[in-house]
Amino acid sequence: MIRLLKIELNKTLYSRQIWIILGLYIVLLVPVAFAIDSINFGGNSGEIPNPAIGTFTIFNHPTVWHNMAYLFTWFQLFLGIIVISLVANEFSQKTLRQNIIDGLTKWEVIASKEIVIVLLSFFSTILLVLLTLILGNSSVDVSIWEGFNAVPAYFICILLYLNFAYFISFWVKKSGLAIGLLLIYSLIIENLLTWKLPDNIGTLFPMQLGSNMIPNPMGGMLNLEATINLSPLNIGMTLVYIGLFLGLIFWMLKKGHAAK
């Protein structure tokens, strides 16, 4: 495992492209969070008045954990692009084929990128925790850790999303095409597929799982379900999809996809 980590860190840490994307992720996400905190919606900063439920305060504990986790999902594409770029570079620079020639097994090839995915997921989750602790308003009489279940929910969601990006980029090999397919599937194809399906089926699609676990918190203003949902079904289906994506990548490797 340490050997695989060293191999991937050598590829990642010396890539200017990866550092630029990661920098954009932080540079855009952090100011947006602080900007929302400072916006005055008609009440105090960070508050949204609503006739139906009174004032909705974005950064009050315990709801701040959910609100920040949802905000972070807006920026998950940046992390997806990092994964796509790393995988596409393996094909364009022929390092994937060379790693196999040098003795890495197919599962080691897959595991090396999975390590990067897990590290990116941990990095993003830690950033979520830090920003939430900084921006959270603890003046209300609740523990600052109440609502913390949004954090593991976010980690599971980003892990699923990045593995989906891994599968797409390994399949098509081209970063631009992979990014386009990721966007088209996430925003259009899955919505069309689930449009007329029963809810108990449509909600089990990969992107919908993320929406189930971290729904739009503003839905509570419309009396919609808007709570963090770490049900065994959602977690189990996430693991099934991750296993499926990795299994398909292994199958493609067995079929000689790396050499094509």
Sign of CA dihedral 249, 254, 255, 260: positive
pLDDT at 196 over 90: no
Separation between Cα atoms, residue 232 and residue 238, nearest integer Å: 10
Give mean pLDDT, residues 78-98: 90
User: With bands split at pLDDT 50, 70 and 90, how would you rate the model's confidence at 259?
Assistant: low
Distance from CA of residue 113 to its chain's centroid? Answer: 15
pLDDT at 218 over 70: yes
Whether 147 and 117 have beta carbons less than 8 Å apart is answered as no
Instruction: Identify which has the larger pLDDT, 8 or 1.
Output: 8
Separation between Cα atoms, residue 37 and residue 177, nearest integer Å: 36
For the segment 103-155, what is each residue's pLDDT rounded down to a tens digit? 888 899 899 999 999 999 999 999 999 999 988 877 667 788 888 999 999 99
Cα torsion through 219, 224, 227, 230, rounded to 10: -120
Sign of CA dihedral 196, 198, 199, 201: negative
Rg for the chain, CA atoms, rounded: 20
pTM: 0.89
Which secondary structure element, helix H or strand E, spans residue 48, and what is its range? strand 47-50
Q: What is the DSSP letter of 189?
A: I
pLDDT at 44 over 50: no
Tokens read off for 243: 């296993």
Separation between Cα atoms, residue 70 and residue 59, nearest integer Å: 12
- Helix axes of 150-172 and 106-135: crossing angle, nearest 10 degrees: 140
Name, of 134-143, 152-161, 210-219, the range with top average pLDDT. Answer: 152-161
Q: What percent of the chain has pLDDT over 90?
A: 50
Q: Helix/strand/coil (H, E, C) string of 156-180? A: HHHHHHHHHHHHHHHHHCCHHHHHH
pLDDT at 48 over 50: no
User: With bands split at pLDDT 50, 70 and 90, how would you rate the model's confidence at 32?
Assistant: confident
Domains of the chain by residue range: 2-259
Separation between Cα atoms, residue 104 and residue 115, nearest integer Å: 15
